[in-house]
Structure 1
Amino acid sequence: MKKEFRVKKNKEFQEAFKKGKSFANRQFVVYSLKKPDQEHFRIGLSVSKKIGNAVTRNQIKRYVRQAFHELEHEIHNQYDYIIIARKPVADMEFHEIKKSLMHVLKISKVLTKQMPGNNDK
């Protein structure tokens, strides 16, 4: 995932928290904020120190970025997504994380229709 597709600034995180819509399951909270002037979605990640050591937190972030990369063509552009990982994520493998993210994104109605034959690889 290219760096220009990431939300980095605290001000942008706070704007998504205040103006965006939030959806959650047991593993993730996702805030989505519509940005009509941008061509590609951006993601911001938050993984608390309560979840594990730096290695674990960085691995979770890599898994989430990879899941978004694989779902890139099914996610609505013109949005900023803030993903907050919850404790159960620490014990999950990549495919479980991807499935959980897909679940919360379906709840938030930001996934376009699933392409036939493009379920879990």
Structure 2
Amino acid sequence: MKHYHSLRKTKEFQQVYRTGKSKANKYFVLYCMENQLGYNRFGISVSKKVGNSVVRHRVTRLLRESYRLHQSELKQGFDIAVIARNAVKDEGFHKVESALLHLMGLHRLRRDEKH
């Protein structure tokens, strides 16, 4: 399994929430800011409002796998924080993956974007 850097501390998440730009769709809110590190850090937040621990961990696994599959397509040097919304709890992998890619496209994080 390919390793990626992650946001771990509350302070790191708060920094992204405060100073980053946010875009949202039905399933997620994605915050993004430059980090000057030369690599991306990815953080996932799934509230108890989304469901019990089984549901929350499932959503987390789907997000983590979607990010892992597409991290090579992303520009580097960003902190990315994803907040799951309640609507995502009943969705499958492909819906989660397309929602995440949609938000990354809105933030222009993908390398293949011609903007």
Write the deviation string for residues 28-80 of structure 1: whole angstroms up to 9, x where unpaired.
100001012x1321111110101111011001101101000010111111101
Name the residue aligned to 1:64. 63
Name the residue aligned to 1:109. 108
Name the residue aligned to 1:19. 19
Runs (4 or more) in structure 1 with deviation over 6 Å come to none
Root-mean-square deviation (Å): 1.3
Name the residue aligned to 2:7. 7
Give ranges in structure 2 of 5+ residues lacking alignment: none
- Map of 1:23-42 to 2, 5 A cutoff? 23-36=23-36, 38-42=37-41
User: Aligned residues, how many?
Assistant: 112
Q: Distance in 2 between matches of 1:87 and 1:108?
A: 22
**Identity value in percent:** 33
- Give the partner amino acid of 1:27: Y
SS in 1 for 2:48: coil
Q: Distance in 1 between matches of 2:66 and 2:56?
A: 15
TM-score by length of structure 1 reads 0.87
- Map of 1:93-108 to 2, 5 A cutoff? 93-108=92-107
- Give the partner amino acid of 1:52: G
Give ranges in structure 1 of 5+ residues lacking alignment: 115-121
Q: Distance in 1 between matches of 2:105 and 2:97?
A: 12
